[in-house]
Homo-oligomer: A and B are copies of this chain.
Amino acid sequence: MNAPIVRQPVMTPDEAFIFLESVFHQIRGKFEIEEITSMRSRMRMKIGDGQLRPGGTVSGPTMFELADCAFYVAIMGMIGKEALTVTTNATINFLNKPAPVDLICEARILKLGKLLATGDATIWSEGQDAPVAHATMTYAIPPKR
């Protein structure tokens, strides 16, 4: 087996966060970027009343938004600021009922092509061992001008 080529991130969590908040107004204040490493990101979603469903749990669309955002950040970490990068496909499995606490999401790029990036994201309730959701996603990357 050849030694894999490890591509390094081109943005820090702080740089990515400032860009994210400036471009996506709707998600302002919801997320923290905890880590960006090669082909990966880890994000935190702060859970408040607006995200809770009956029974004190977190809604599916909220978890979808977290997975979508974490995967976006993982791609941005590798290719830089590309606000036009868009999700083309996502599959999400809801596995366990989330606790009414912050959610942690780890996204992983499995293929970073010129036009498409594909990977997955796993979500946990903070402090819990069993994942609450798992998503796979594909993003389209705009061609370089």
Q: Which residues of A contact B (CB under 8 A)?
A: 1-2, 4, 23-24, 26, 50-54, 59-62, 64-65, 68, 83, 86-96, 110-111, 115-116, 118, 120, 122, 127-131, 134, 136, 138, 140
Contact = CB atoms under 8 A, between A and B. Distances in A.
A99 to B, nearest CB: 12
A136 B134 contact: yes
A120 B134 CA distance: 9
In the complex this chain forms, how many copies of it are found? 4
A93 B83 contact: no
Nearest to A128: B1
Given A59-B65, A90-B91, A111-B130, 6 more contacts: A4-B129, A88-B138, A89-B89, A89-B91, A110-B122, A118-B134
A71 to B, nearest CB: 11
A60 B89 contact: no
B138 A111 contact: no
A59 B4 CA distance: 25
Contact of A26 (B50, B64, B68, B116): B50
A95 to B, nearest CB: 4
A11 to B, nearest CB: 18
B83 A94 contact: no
